[in-house]
Chains A and B, each alone.
Chain A
């Protein structure tokens, strides 16, 4: 009988139910779209903020004070301390390895750069930066992680291409002598890969260099320098012209290994490491000194991807290194992200409010209008509880159907929005679904509860008489 009454109510006035359902579905679609976007926006924008470049800087702890003005370090290359290049792949083994988006080691020196091998009047003291570009790191899980300055400084534009990752290195080549007896293993030898470099746009203009030309780099502090080809200077092919908008426009960028060989003859070492890490905006808790935290707090701190806790875990694997947060980038990111999040939550909150009020009004109207029906039911002996239960069941059914439709509609809208703005659609989450359905149920029940209560106070007789 109960079910019959409910289905009858739907079947008898399909248009009215459709309208209430439509109001519900639209309201819940707003709620779904706003919630999905607001939940997703933090991660998306955090990625966008990586276009500002690195937020962590690793330098040797025992370093002498760098004499750096406007991005140019005026210290001689053999002063100060270094960090070993061989340790760098360890960065992808730390707890936060998935948050490390890119890193690039830097070693600078000053050298003379000429366009012919024996030019006498070539500009001296040109900054030569050794670094990585699109450098492959082979991880233990078999995958390859490519990183370098092209990733940590996404605003660098190269007209041409970056130097090859293995330029200047020695390549292992298998040798098979022609008279190799069958079954014997071939030997191998090392062959140097030709040197390559990228030239800053201002320097290129001064030397009228273009991609495809050659430059000859001599390190003046070591006149006796002989590289393994027996020449006093490195000749390298210019693969591209770099526009950086900073000191790099006047510099030559080469693979780290070439600069190490030119300036120091030492093992692969670097002086600065830029790390770009995805981090959670810092709150008051994150700004506390980890030394003053209790064990539980420390655990919570180190398990949140704050930029300071990522710095801490990098410090753990690089003994002798000083890991600093580049505050200009990190603070800016944190502050703006917090603001955007707050703003979107407010917009979401307002959308929820408007949807809730409109839906509540709609269901209140649908109860109001049925006063005669309620009167009749009561006249036939139904208690207030039965009537309320019947109407609540009806409204809940409507809430689930309308809420479900609205959720589907909202997800489509959120996908469109996400794809248009960030190129990635937010994933539908169960949380949003539960919140939306719950909200629909609560709002419809609340909306109908007030008129229902008033209706239950009335005597059936005057209502039926139309008074």
Chain B
């Protein structure tokens, strides 16, 4: 009995082998259809996960989305009261970690004039300008939308340089390479202009200097007016980060830049909804399409089924044969196709975001399983062949 079973099994696999190798053209077509389906599935799944994460980073081109300011909001206009100390900046930096850019700002209104090397304040030929002290290195990261001409320094940006806002440069008739002098109270600083900054907003009317220079000028060492944070994350992540930050620094006022957080959340939700829906529809339709194509291929097996039944094969056994064949094909097609798809998505991620999409291993088994399921489902209509009368098939009747 066991011997018979063993022979049966050997025969089973032998038939499968023959079924697969009998018609090379058909085998190729089936593998191609299944493989293409698997490739698209794997590529889309991988890209979808990656794209949503990439878009949260992409939104940082809008600049800072969180502002930390001293709690006692200035009551009267002319000078911002209240300042933030070093400890606050440090705790913000620890909280943010590598998820965002932290830029402390110290604002003051100082007198400016073109340098003649004397550093003696003369009241004439001076203009009042807003001085923004910050880390000039971080500026292109904080606001990638601005046009910041960043000269390359191998040992970090020197301390005595500044950027001029475009309108400041126009109004003061200054250009790249000029030297300027800043006066505030009894303090003075001499700086070299290393670039003209174009932002299209209030920043065009300011002068950007290094934070220590601004602090020396104002006589406020280690203190800043506010801290701007450009935090990358989905809208819910940003919300929870604001909550966490507010709890960590109770002495300061942490608030979202509503203009950008609200718009960002809205657009992000649209994009991610669109992407999910598109990928869902494409995957569903592709599966159905591959299934229809495979069924079409399988249906042409009438002759084979007829012959097997004529030789005494039970319908269930014949059906099992074809299901195993389909599963094998699905598995092979899936293995090859999904691997190709993952490579494809890495390349595509690079094309869209400039950064290669990280291949996610979980996608691979999922794509292969989906392909096998589609392949098996597409062999199921062969069940109808159970009603075939072998004789009529051989006679060429329908």
The contact size tier of chain B is 35 or more
List of B residues within 8 angstroms of A48 by Cβ: 266-267, 270
The contact size tier of chain A is 35 or more
Considering the chains assembled together, what is the distance between the CA atoms of A26 and B374 in angstroms?
A: 15
Interface centre among B26, B205, B255, B285 (most CB of A within 10 A): B285
Interface centre among A37, A69, A331 (most CB of B within 10 A): A69
Which of B32, B289, B300 touches A30 (beta carbons < 8 Å)?
B289
Given the interface pairs A65-B171, A365-B300, the reply to whether A125 lies near B295 with Cβ below 8 Å is no
Tell me, yes or no, whether A81 is within 8 Å of chain B by CB: no
Tell me, yes or no, whether A239 is within 8 Å of chain B by CB: no
Given the interface pairs A245-B257, A325-B200, A358-B293, the reply to whether A49 lies near B263 with Cβ below 8 Å is yes
Decide if B205 touches A65 in the complex (CB within 8 Å).
yes
Tell me, yes or no, whether A362 is within 8 Å of chain B by CB: yes
Tell me, yes or no, whether A103 is within 8 Å of chain B by CB: no
Considering the chains assembled together, what is the distance between the CA atoms of A54 and B257 in angstroms?
A: 15
List of A residues within 8 angstroms of B200 by Cβ: 57, 324-328, 330
* B243-251, B317-325, B346-354 - the one binding chain A: B346-354
Tell me, yes or no, whether A34 is within 8 Å of chain B by CB: yes
Decide if B262 touches A155 in the complex (CB within 8 Å).
yes
List of A residues within 8 angstroms of B199 by Cβ: 326-328
Given the interface pairs A65-B129, A245-B259, A339-B55, the reply to whether A51 lies near B267 with Cβ below 8 Å is yes
B214-232 interface (Cβ within 8 A of A): 225-226
Contact with B along A409-449 (1 / 0, CB 8 A): 00001000100111000000000000000000000000000
Given the interface pairs A65-B167, A357-B33, the reply to whether A125 lies near B62 with Cβ below 8 Å is no
Decide if B77 touches A72 in the complex (CB within 8 Å).
yes
List of B residues within 8 angstroms of A256 by Cβ: none
Considering the chains assembled together, what is the distance between the CA atoms of A12 and B396 in angstroms?
A: 12
Tell me, yes or no, whether B37 is within 8 Å of chain A by CB: yes
Considering the chains assembled together, what is the distance between the CA atoms of A41 and B274 in angstroms?
A: 9
List of A residues within 8 angstroms of B226 by Cβ: 70
Decide if A155 touches B258 in the complex (CB within 8 Å).
yes
Decide if B296 touches A362 in the complex (CB within 8 Å).
yes
List of A residues within 8 angstroms of B289 by Cβ: 23, 26-27, 30, 354-355, 358-359
Considering the chains assembled together, what is the distance between the CA atoms of A162 and B328 in angstroms?
A: 68
B132-150 interface (Cβ within 8 A of A): 143-147
List of B residues within 8 angstroms of A330 by Cβ: 145, 200
Which of B30, B51, B281, B286 touches A417 (beta carbons < 8 Å)?
B281
Tell me, yes or no, whether A258 is within 8 Å of chain B by CB: no
* B40-48, B87-95, B185-193, B362-370 - the one binding chain A: B40-48
Measured between C-beta atoms, what is the minimum distance from B261 to chain A in Å? 8
List of B residues within 8 angstroms of A20 by Cβ: 292, 296
Q: Which residue of B lies closest to A450 (CB)?
A: B25
Measured between C-beta atoms, what is the minimum distance from A9 to chain B in Å? 13
Q: Which residue of B lies closest to A55 (CB)?
A: B200
Decide if B201 touches A355 in the complex (CB within 8 Å).
no
List of A residues within 8 angstroms of B19 by Cβ: none
Measured between C-beta atoms, what is the minimum distance from B358 to chain A in Å? 16
Contact with A along B27-68 (1 / 0, CB 8 A): 001101100110110011001000100010011011100000
Measured between C-beta atoms, what is the minimum distance from B307 to chain A in Å? 11
List of B residues within 8 angstroms of A339 by Cβ: 55, 58, 352-353
List of A residues within 8 angstroms of B130 by Cβ: 67-69
Considering the chains assembled together, what is the distance between the CA atoms of A250 and B80 in angstroms?
A: 13
Considering the chains assembled together, what is the distance between the CA atoms of A52 and B257 in angstroms?
A: 11
Given the interface pairs A350-B43, A361-B33, the reply to whether A250 lies near B290 with Cβ below 8 Å is no
Q: Which residue of A lies closest to B43 (CB)?
A: A350
Measured between C-beta atoms, what is the minimum distance from B186 to chain A in Å? 21
List of B residues within 8 angstroms of A16 by Cβ: 296, 299
Decide if B40 touches A354 in the complex (CB within 8 Å).
yes
Decide if B36 touches A358 in the complex (CB within 8 Å).
yes
Decide if A366 touches B281 in the complex (CB within 8 Å).
no
Tell me, yes or no, whether B178 is within 8 Å of chain A by CB: no
Considering the chains assembled together, what is the distance between the CA atoms of A125 and B81 in angstroms?
A: 14
Decide if A366 touches B145 in the complex (CB within 8 Å).
no
Decide if A346 touches B259 in the complex (CB within 8 Å).
no
Decide if B296 touches A343 in the complex (CB within 8 Å).
no
Measured between C-beta atoms, what is the minimum distance from A223 to chain B in Å? 18
Decide if A361 touches B297 in the complex (CB within 8 Å).
yes
Which of B25, B59, B267, B290 touches A451 (beta carbons < 8 Å)?
B25
List of B residues within 8 angstroms of A362 by Cβ: 33, 292-293, 296-297
List of A residues within 8 angstroms of B270 by Cβ: 45, 48, 421-422
Considering the chains assembled together, what is the distance between the CA atoms of A420 and B147 in angstroms?
A: 37
Which of A26, A245, A368 touches B26 (beta carbons < 8 Å)?
A368
Tell me, yes or no, whether B210 is within 8 Å of chain A by CB: no
Measured between C-beta atoms, what is the minimum distance from B59 to chain A in Å? 7
List of A residues within 8 angstroms of B143 by Cβ: 328
Tell me, yes or no, whether A94 is within 8 Å of chain B by CB: no
Decide if B267 touches A49 in the complex (CB within 8 Å).
yes
List of A residues within 8 angstroms of B352 by Cβ: 339, 342-343, 346
A336-392 interface (Cβ within 8 A of B): 336, 339-340, 342-344, 346-347, 350-351, 353-355, 357-359, 361-362, 364-366, 368-369
Decide if A23 touches B278 in the complex (CB within 8 Å).
no
Decide if A125 touches B37 in the complex (CB within 8 Å).
no
Decide if B256 touches A245 in the complex (CB within 8 Å).
yes
Tell me, yes or no, whether A218 is within 8 Å of chain B by CB: no
Decide if B263 touches A340 in the complex (CB within 8 Å).
no
Tell me, yes or no, whether B86 is within 8 Å of chain A by CB: no
Tell me, yes or no, whether A137 is within 8 Å of chain B by CB: no
Measured between C-beta atoms, what is the minimum distance from A159 to chain B in Å? 15
Tell me, yes or no, whether B184 is within 8 Å of chain A by CB: no
Extra pairs beyond A19-B299, A362-B33 (20, CB < 8 Å): A20-B292, A30-B281, A34-B278, A48-B267, A51-B263, A202-B73, A246-B258, A326-B200, A327-B201, A329-B62, A331-B61, A336-B61, A336-B271, A344-B274, A351-B285, A354-B36, A358-B290, A358-B293, A361-B30, A420-B273
A-B contact pairs, 24 of them (CB 8 A): A26-B289, A30-B286, A33-B282, A33-B285, A34-B281, A48-B267, A52-B267, A68-B202, A153-B259, A245-B256, A245-B261, A324-B204, A326-B200, A330-B145, A332-B63, A340-B271, A347-B278, A350-B282, A361-B30, A361-B32, A361-B33, A365-B26, A365-B296, A369-B300
